[in-house]
Chains A and B, each alone.
Chain A
Amino acid sequence: MKTYYNSEDLKKFGNIGEFSKELADKFFDYYGSVFKEGALTAREKALVALGVAHAIQCPYCIDAYTKDTLEKGCTEEQLMEAVHVSGAIRGGASLVHGVQMMNHTKKIMM
């Protein structure tokens, strides 16, 4: 069955250099540096990535960072808490616009 997303494509991520090597090299170099241990641990960064993956709903990133966080020693509870942080921010982002709706309502209504 044809689908827009194919889990096999995740393995081919590196192939994006085929059409533009210089930019791909720069991106992957940057990507590698971002995820190194720094002020945040590699594990903390992986959990942030898992949360972001859910916020942007990227199936490749969800697969990759589910495995990565587990391999970095996170528990199932920690993974789910990261997903809830993502959900809270997404939900909050919608709800905070309620203030804009209220402001506008109050402006145009008596």
Chain B
Amino acid sequence: MKSLKAQAHHLSNSAAQLKVLNEGSFEQFSQKLKAINLFPLKPTRIQTFQVNLGKMCNQACKHCHVDAGPDRKEIMTKETMQQCIDILAHYDIGTIDMTGGAPEMNPNFRWFVEEASELGKHIIDRCNLTIILANKKYHDLPEFFAKHKVEVVSSLPHYTSTRTDRQRGSGVFDRSIKALQMLNSVGYGKEGTDLQLNLVYNPTGAILPSSQKTLESDYKKELKNRFGIEFNSLFTITNMPISRFLDYLLVSDNYDEYMQKLVDAFNPSAAEGVMCRNTLSIGWDGTIYDCDFNQMLDMKVNSTSTHISEFNLESLENRNIAVDQHCYGCTAGLGSSCGGQTA
């Protein structure tokens, strides 16, 4: 599957996506926040630096909000990564969360992990699993992750192959299972180790996620019984109505109903706990955003500090977080973030 960008699809343009999101008669997200005295939305304290190392990926998933894939060439340079490390060395930001694309495809990925590890930061790698088997040079990633106590967070949209492959591509489930077994074999997800392996569920369609607790119990039972796989926690994540998932919603005639569902399910507790309040998202070119979704919509932070070369924590911690209609995805039902439910 080609990326929307490679197809020259009109929704590869962020302005076109925002236009679609604002055309409907849905109540403005900012109005919802005003009604609960949360507007303008302000940060709490920045605890996580989420760094997008590039849009290149060995997969091209149907719902991908990054529009990532093998045909995307945007990649973070070592210079920009060094700037991230310098900031992390200087400020009390405890967690670095590496995402992509497939972050491991960045040629300086291992150097970046080693530098962050030396700083004593908690490192998260959003690993798509299949990258571990994609090429011989990635086969030792489980050992590398273990050495640096990297928390591995991996998408597995379902414990059945049909649903996973429908969203992520043919054969992805089998390769993901093999990769999970490799991670287990070095201690990931096992009781008595501190090697965290967390899985991510996101719906394979125009529905909201199930209860995280119930689904986690299903996953644990099914993956253990069928494949002997263990993991720590399951994070349930709502699909954001942007990029490829927005295209899917429109083409399948599910857009209006899905958006209405997100609006109707607005949960004030979830709004209080949205991840953009304690996270900064860094784009592959060093631009600063409130979250990975705003990044893909080219909505820069409302701050004098919009690039890591001019990083100013005080300005960023006092900014007004940029919101738009897609933000309903994080506040619906039990809430959604890169760490799962928020309410």
Q: Establish whether residues B214 and A70, one from each chain, have CB atoms under 8 Å apart when the complex forms.
A: no
Q: Establish whether residues B205 and A72, one from each chain, have CB atoms under 8 Å apart when the complex forms.
A: no
Q: Establish whether residues B210 and A71, one from each chain, have CB atoms under 8 Å apart when the complex forms.
A: yes
Q: Establish whether residues B210 and A72, one from each chain, have CB atoms under 8 Å apart when the complex forms.
A: yes
**CB of A15 closer than 8 Å to a CB of B:** no
A75 and B161 CA atoms in complex are apart in Å by 12
CB distance from A37 to the nearest CB of B (A): 10
Contacts across chains A and B counted by CB atoms under 8 Å? 23
**CB of A90 closer than 8 Å to a CB of B:** no
Interface string of A73-99 (1 = CB under 8 A from B): 101100000000000000000000000
**CB of A67 closer than 8 Å to a CB of B:** yes
Instruction: Scan residues 43-78 of chain A and give those whose CB is less than 8 A from a CB of chain B.
Output: 43, 67, 70-73, 75-76
A72 and B164 CA atoms in complex are apart in Å by 17
Contact of A71 among B160, B209, B218 (CB under 8 A): B209
A96 and B211 CA atoms in complex are apart in Å by 40
CB distance from B41 to the nearest CB of A (A): 27
Quick one: closest B residue to A72, CB to CB?
B210
Contacts of B163 in A (CB 8 A): 75
Interface residue total, chain B, C-beta cutoff 8 A: 14
Quick one: closest A residue to B236, CB to CB?
A73
Instruction: Scan residues 57-96 of chain B and give those whose CB is less than 8 A from a CB of chain A.
Output: none
**CB of B16 closer than 8 Å to a CB of A:** no
A43 and B218 CA atoms in complex are apart in Å by 12
Q: Establish whether residues B207 and A70, one from each chain, have CB atoms under 8 Å apart when the complex forms.
A: yes
**CB of B18 closer than 8 Å to a CB of A:** no
Known: A71-B207, A72-B211, A73-B210. 17 other contacts (CB 8 A): A41-B214, A43-B214, A67-B207, A70-B203, A70-B205, A70-B207, A71-B203, A71-B208, A71-B209, A71-B210, A72-B210, A73-B211, A73-B214, A73-B215, A75-B158, A75-B160, A75-B163
Interface residues of B (CB under 8 A from A): 158, 160, 162-163, 203, 205, 207-211, 214-215, 218
Q: Give me 6 A-to-B residue pairs in the complex whose CB atoms sit less than 8 angstroms apart, sorted by A's number.
A: A70-B203, A71-B209, A71-B210, A72-B210, A73-B211, A75-B163
